[in-house]
A and B are shown apart, each in its own frame.
Chain A
């Protein structure tokens, strides 16, 4: 509010408003009091105070930055206002009927900020800091609750493959779980990334402009389906249908150790879980990649086409290089999501605790799925052990997410909202 009455005197004598004192002391400030009236009570900033605020603004900006709610709005607002003010200055000066409104402040007067303003700002800031505290609390309590179980553990937490947390003495380790988590997530990404990039390209470049947003919505619908329903579907619909594919892979690609099931048979395998996970992370990667591809400057694309490039050459030379960081970070966000996915995996995978590269065998487990499966019958140590495994998952996903966000953050205009 004070940026406006600031204007006339501001042009010549920036920061030294007291020079215009004689004229300004006249009580001819029509706009301000009327404007103040509606909320006199609540804002407790009287015209005089507001003006003194304005005058001392320039001196006290640095100290009052935290509390200067009414003097300076966000940077850009202040900047654009003062720009507008500067333009209007000559006019108002020549008119003469608009008296400069700055009143000589008491020497050393401090700007007075409305109490409500200060309170509101601090309220929002508390909420923001509360969010940071929340993350700290999450980490702290996971560590605290895990501690007892970890100190009671007879095995090595990081190398033991079994999960005997409820036994006496408890012997458990996160090795097999972490392996299963990473393996299933990586396979899921290997399936999802090419398809997701294809979808993003389709929506941004190939699809007719009018249909694009509707098609994007269809892909977003995939993300709206709850994970438990994917689990249900994966367990009861996909699993029976998928055995044929798995056998075929085993028959023809069994010479690759990954697809070898040896004497056993195929079934609810890590591969099946990965396919379900791939479906679940697909919309995330697709939505983020789409957002990056949309930001490719249209001039780059047109320049490539004008040089005679085919559409694929245009994508390769203009779109992909520009969108690569975005796709990489989108994939990492998808990786984080895939690693943290619980219920779908818990429903699909049988809980076994061994490290095996044979992804077609009905075996495997992940950290999150183990928590969901094992929580019901866990005793005190068992719960602590599950929380300890959760802590590992927390750290791994946080690191992956942070890297992804750091890559995205390099591009300022990218919102990341789709995630």
Chain B
């Protein structure tokens, strides 16, 4: 397949040509065609129907055919090299399959229900079997919860990052740095369970949007710390020294020189973190609980959220509910992809120099 273009590598034909002979492109093409034909034959004879399998089987047959031909013509070393090349290209293609499949499925099935009516109505009074309904309440909930979480996580994470980069030299900063890494791997459901046990069960607070944003904060902090730390480290020491030389106090140097210089990178990191927590479902399930009505106040009463909405609708057997889930999924994916794109854009426009 793609490997057919490989012999034109920078090294050229000659240097890799270990036995004085090379497999020519037409031969490889013939092998590829043969692999496709054989797979098609298999499809007619046996009970395989999946397109993904088709690709996999073609890939497998092509690798085998190519290896055999290469061993015969070029020798075992070159054959192994070719095999690995095919596998490496194949693995990349393989990774694209789910990405494309997920995006196509979400867009195709989500576009059916996604319209203004869907975006501007809540699920109040609409049962699982009824058509109609919308995600207005869920969008409000997601925006408020993620916004609150960012308000808490960003300053906190920035302070930790400043400590680690500007002040931390001792043992304690190494410990903190290590646990930031460990916290990055904290399962999201654990954050939810913690807020449930601490905020809701121990302190007797009700299920609110704010409880959800507490859980999201826990998930967001390590991501913010990591990215901000990377960016602060990139700020050249000369800038700090120049500021000190002018007699500027250290804290002002950090706030006026170091952080502003690193700001574009930090913004990028924050937006990626926001994008990550915006799709979190598990912690919200345990803290926000989900509600069908519009609740603008995140500090009082249950709210909904987009991921939560998708989860609850996907669990219903009715087709209308599943359609709603797909449409909500499309909305969520659009929001997250937009955040990602903006973050990349900010990053590429203003790099730390």
Contacts and interface: CB of A to CB of B under 8 A. Distances in A.
A80 B237 contact: yes
Interface string B159-195: 1101111111100110110111111111111111110
A206 B106 contact: no
Nearest to B159: A127
Given A124-B166, A195-B95, A248-B47, A368 B244 contact: no
A224 B332 CA distance: 11
A120 interface: yes
B50 A77 contact: no
Contact of B91 (A198, A236, A398): A198
Contacts of B180: 131
A45 B162 CA distance: 23
B101 interface: yes
A253 interface: no
A48 interface: no
B98 to A, nearest CB: 4
A77 B237 contact: yes
Contacts of B92: 198-199, 202-203, 215
Contacts of B281: 226-228, 342-343, 372
B350 interface: no
Given A142-B193, A225-B333, A128 B173 contact: yes
Contacts of B87: 198
B266 interface: no
A416 B182 CA distance: 11
A347 B48 contact: no
Nearest to B310: A228
Nearest to A388: B193
B340 to A, nearest CB: 5
Contacts of B178: 402, 405, 409
A236 B314 contact: yes
Interface stretch (A15-23, A160-168, A309-317): A309-317
B188 A145 contact: no
A262 interface: no
A4 interface: yes
The SS class assigned to the A binding surface is helix
Contacts of B216: none
A137 B195 CA distance: 10
B80 interface: yes
Interface stretch (A102-110, A172-180, A331-339, A356-364): A331-339
A1 B249 contact: yes
A244 interface: yes
Contacts of A226: 278-281, 307, 332-333, 336
Interface string A34-67: 0110010011010000100000000000000000
B37 interface: no
A2 to B, nearest CB: 8
Interface stretch (B19-27, B115-123, B126-134, B197-205): B197-205
Interface in A222-238: 222, 224-233, 235-238
A75 interface: yes
Contact of A342 (B169, B188, B333, B340): B188
Nearest to A233: B102
Given A129-B172, A218-B96, A233 B101 contact: yes
A1 B251 CA distance: 12
Contact of A401 (B52, B185, B191, B196): B185
B311 A218 contact: no
Nearest to A276: B98
Interface in B266-322: 275-276, 278-282, 285-286, 307, 310-311, 314-315, 322
A229 B102 contact: yes
Contacts of B246: 1, 35
B163 A125 contact: yes
Given A1-B246, A77-B237, A226-B333, A312 B84 contact: yes
A347 B311 CA distance: 8
Contacts of B188: 340, 342
B95 to A, nearest CB: 5
A279 interface: yes
B43 to A, nearest CB: 11
Interface of B: 9, 11, 16, 18, 47-50, 52-53, 77-78, 80-81, 83-85, 87-92, 94-96, 98-99, 101-102, 105-106, 156, 159-160, 162-169, 172-173, 175-176, 178-194, 196-198, 201-202, 218, 221, 225-227, 230, 237, 240-241, 244-252, 254-255, 275-276, 278-282, 285-286, 307, 310-311, 314-315, 322, 325-326, 329, 332-333, 336-337, 340, 344
Given A1-B245, A142-B190, 15 more contacts: A39-B252, A74-B166, A121-B167, A128-B172, A129-B172, A131-B183, A145-B201, A198-B92, A228-B279, A236-B105, A242-B50, A247-B47, A311-B81, A343-B311, A419-B185
26 contacts: A42-B249, A70-B250, A73-B250, A74-B169, A80-B237, A117-B250, A120-B251, A121-B163, A121-B251, A128-B168, A131-B176, A215-B92, A219-B95, A225-B99, A233-B101, A237-B101, A337-B185, A340-B185, A368-B189, A371-B286, A393-B187, A398-B185, A401-B182, A405-B182, A417-B226, A417-B227
8 closest cross-chain pairs (CB), A and B:
A340-B187, A226-B279, A198-B91, A35-B247, A127-B159, A120-B251, A124-B163, A342-B282
